[in-house]
Amino acid sequence: MDELILTQPDDWHIHLRDGAALTAVAPHSADVFGRVMAMPNLKPPVTTVSAAQAYRQRILGALPPNTSCIPLLSLYLTESTTVAEVEAAAHSGFIVGFKYYPMGATTHSELGVSDLSRCREVLHAMAKSGLPLQVHGEVTDPAVDVFDREAVFIHRQLIPLLESHPDLRVIFEHITTRAAVEFIQGAGAGVAATITPQHLLYNRNALFQGGLRPHHYCLPVLKREEHRQALLHAVASGHPRFFLGTDSAPHSQSTKEASCGCAGIYSAHAALPLYAEAFESVGALSLLEGFASHFGADFYGLPRNQHRIRLIRQSWTVPPHYPFGSETLIPLRANETLAWKVVQI
């Protein structure tokens, strides 16, 4: 197969940042995706409908003039989020979920939630209005090995959460382990997961290949090969509750290549080619469209996109870096060649 025509895909998990960084990265996603789910972990985080409205305007301002790309937003759940805010979000028309960051789990999660039981009323209101909870699924307990934090999260938090809120719709974001795959396969119709390109393409050896590789560091961290295989099997099974969320998370070169480097991999410049490579590696290219363009929209209860995009087998070389405000951004696969390319129809 040398050509794929797909319903236009959506990216259900992306960090677009703000200001000059937003201006630098937004066009990469807008060129390909029909909708982008902008994560709310700005500084300060996007915790209210009015802050989200303002952020949405800034995103719209950063998109190329004739784009059809639509930004959707997620609100950052805090222990002070009110039921009234949930109801306002549900009526906003552009906020389609709340993001749960366990406090301290990842970039800009300081204002996240330390004890989800303090959000009972709010979670109840979300279940009632159908707004899903988008979960960063890692425990923050320093006693738990960093490679085990997702699997431990399932037992310590996710199962109890769904037991106390059986009607809450939950998206287990950027899953990385066999345990998470099996959890989704065994869960009800209201529970889904997003999967990133890096977790389909790399195992944890990529962090240490010939030396420390900061541009392969993200959270949740890359795992063992057996877990990557489990993710590949999940997407190659055509299961409708695994769908695309790049978790493209740009950080400047200087903050990545540092003594305490930031977590986040930038993949928006090549998202579809990277996923196509992963699907092709397991002979599942024909299942890419469901994962990339159908299942996410279906889960969110939104229409599938009308436009189509075309992917062709044509090699191209990823630039060494992209401008990023006054800094530079090192993309995934910098200076390397990709086999697939998106072209306009």
83 phi and psi, to 5 degrees?
Answer: -60, -40
Q: Cβ closer to ligand NCD: 27 or 261?
A: 261
What is the total count of residues that contact ligand NCD (CB under 6 A)?
Answer: 11
Binding of residue 150 to ligand NCD (CB under 6 A): no
List 18, 115, 145, 247, catalytic entry: 247
- Smallest distance, Å, CB 173 to ligand NCD? 7
Binding of residue 107 to ligand NCD (CB under 6 A): yes
Q: Cβ closer to ligand NCD: 47 or 106?
A: 106
Q: Cβ closer to ligand NCD: 17 or 165?
A: 17
Check residue 210 and report its DSSP letter: T
Q: Cβ closer to ligand NCD: 83 or 263?
A: 263
Q: How far apart are CA 64 and CA 6, in angstroms?
A: 22
Yes or no: say if 312 and 273 are a contact pair by the CB < 8 Å rule: no
Closest C-alpha to 250, from 275, 267, 270, 274: 267
Q: Which residues contact 157 (CB under 8 A, 6 or more apart)?
A: 102, 116, 137, 139
Yes or no: say if 178 and 223 are a contact pair by the CB < 8 Å rule: no
- Smallest distance, Å, CB 267 to Zn ion? 11
Q: How many CB atoms lie within 10 A of CB 334?
A: 17
Binding of residue 106 to ligand NCD (CB under 6 A): yes
41 touches, from ligand NCD, Zn ion, none (C-beta below 5 to 8 Å by class):
ligand NCD
Binding of residue 15 to ligand NCD (CB under 6 A): yes
Query: CA 64, 67, 69 angle in degrees (round to 5)?
Result: 110
* Interacting positions 235-274 with Zn ion (CB under 5 A): 247
218 touches, from Zn ion, ligand NCD, none (C-beta below 5 to 8 Å by class):
ligand NCD
Q: Cβ closer to Zn ion: 85 or 247?
A: 247
Q: Cβ closer to ligand NCD: 216 or 239?
A: 216
**Which of 132, 264, 273, 331: binder of ligand NCD (CB under 6 A)?**
264
Long-range contacts of 150-153 (CB under 8 A, 24+ apart): 150/175, 150/176, 150/177, 150/179, 150/180, 150/220, 151/177, 151/179, 151/180, 153/102
Whole-number Cα distances in Å, 320 to 16, 329, 334, 341? 20, 9, 5, 17
Binding of residue 218 to ligand NCD (CB under 6 A): yes
What is the total count of residues that contact Zn ion (CB under 5 A)?
Answer: 1
Yes or no: say if 127 and 165 are a contact pair by the CB < 8 Å rule: yes
Yes or no: say if 24 and 322 are a contact pair by the CB < 8 Å rule: yes
Give catalytic status of residue 247 as yes or no.
Answer: yes
264 touches, from Zn ion, ligand NCD, none (C-beta below 5 to 8 Å by class):
ligand NCD
Check residue 157 and report its DSSP letter: I
Binding of residue 56 to ligand NCD (CB under 6 A): no
Which residues of the shown chain bind Zn ion in the complex (CB under 5 A)? 247
Which residues of the shown chain bind ligand NCD in the complex (CB under 6 A)? 15, 41, 106-107, 136, 218-219, 247, 249, 263-264
Residues with catalytic function: 247
